[in-house]
Chain A
Amino acid sequence: MVVKSTISDLFLEKADLLLICDSAGQDSLLQNLIVQSQGHIGIISDEFPFLSALSTIENIVLGNVYHQNISIERARKRISEYVRVLGLGNYLWKTVRHLPDEKLLLAMLLRCIASGNNIVFMGKPGANRAETVKNAIITGALPVRMWVSCLDQDQAEYASLGLKKVLFRQ
């Protein structure tokens, strides 16, 4: 198994990765490093939920509308193809609490794509959630790679995803 110790090393890998950490501390460190990458890596996590006051589309394109000062409609048009592929068309103007869990995950994935991330990271997501995202990426031929972190003892849970295993250790 390949051993990596920095985010820059991980960037060199072109495959989807299963980042295995041998302790909860290492996993926490990895997640912090990824958060600090400030937008290069998109994160799908409950730690960064959608804003409850906004609709789904407003949440998805919030970063674009704020940083590029464009209208929601214009930002929506840019990602309209991905909206169709992910089957989110019926949920765009609903608030987050009306979104089923699966669609919420896909909406978070779309937020990463809309923000221009080419990597999405999920920290200890659970096999089902990771599989949902993985399937969406494959089915929709989405332009993102996937990194999933897990603890050493949980790696068997993610075996069905077929991700390249990398041991993250600092």
Chain B
Amino acid sequence: MSVSFISRLGRGVLDSLQTYIQAWSILISAGAAFFRLSFFNRAVAHVFFREVFHTAYRSIPATVLAALIIGAIVVTYLISFLTRFGAYEFVGEFIVIINLHEIGPIVCTLIVLFKAGSRVVSDVALMKVNKELNTLNYLNIHPDRYLLMPIVLAFAFAGPCLTMIFGMVSMLGGFLILGYLHDLTFASYIVLLSAAMDLETFFVAFFKPLLMCMAVASICIQKGMSVNHSLTEIPIRLIQGLMHVIGLMIVIELIFALGYLW
């Protein structure tokens, strides 16, 4: 029984490792295509803009709604805690850190994952099962350049952009609460926030969602590619992909936390 347990454990670890290794190689291929400036090719640019539309543009309403609600909730709790501990003057700093460093990147990555990641898994799986990837090879079109790179690039574009939108809207949501409860003017609120913003804020708000969304893209492509025979495999791969993405998000979060401590 213990042998069977170890065997299953080993298989699980190897499967996960294989996923991460293949996702990494997808990122490398997409990176190589990017540095070959493939995005200047009209056919590739067309795919890129289509992916940006589906990944970034169509995620904006969900991001705005989430940001407004989360921003208001965060500020409500922050004021309650900070007032209790007599640290109200730090409210601007906490709003910026919580919204742009932590909640923004994670919420935006999750929105991208659910809205666009699932679509990428099913699209790539559909292309594979329908033999559309054969067509690309037949036309001598590199799937790395035509398909993988635009998807990864669109996700990398969507992450930071949505996080910036999230940051701005959530701060607006915060103002609605602060302005209502504490008679704070909008100008004073902006001064409060701008004093708390520095280069590090923008660095984290840019690179954290960038890395997380690239991880989402590569895992979703890998899961789509791993569908072999039938479209019924898609939901299974999708759930596996979600777990792998969440694992990678935690790793990226840890790296940034360690960087912050260091």
Residues of A within 8 A of B (CB): 35, 38-39, 43, 46-53, 58, 62-63, 65-67, 69-72, 115
Contact = CB atoms under 8 A, between A and B. Distances in A.
B42 A48 contact: no
Contacts of B141: 62-63, 66-67
A52 to B, nearest CB: 7
Interface stretch (B128-136, B166-174, B200-208): B128-136
Contact of B139 (A53, A66, A70, A72): A66
Interface residues of B, number: 21
B184 interface: no
B123 A63 contact: no
A99 to B, nearest CB: 15
Interface of A is mostly: loop
B132 A52 contact: yes
Contact of B135 (A51, A58, A69): A51
B94 interface: no
Contact of B130 (A39, A52, A71): A52
Contacts of B41: 66, 69
Interface of B: 40-44, 46, 50, 123, 126-127, 130-132, 134-136, 138-141, 146
B132 A49 contact: yes
A48 B43 contact: no
A50 B136 CA distance: 10
Contacts, number: 56
Nearest to A42: B138
A48 to B, nearest CB: 5
A58 B126 CA distance: 18
B140 A63 contact: yes
Contacts of B146: 66
A52 B134 contact: no
Nearest to B136: A51
Contacts of B131: 46-49
Contacts of A43: 138
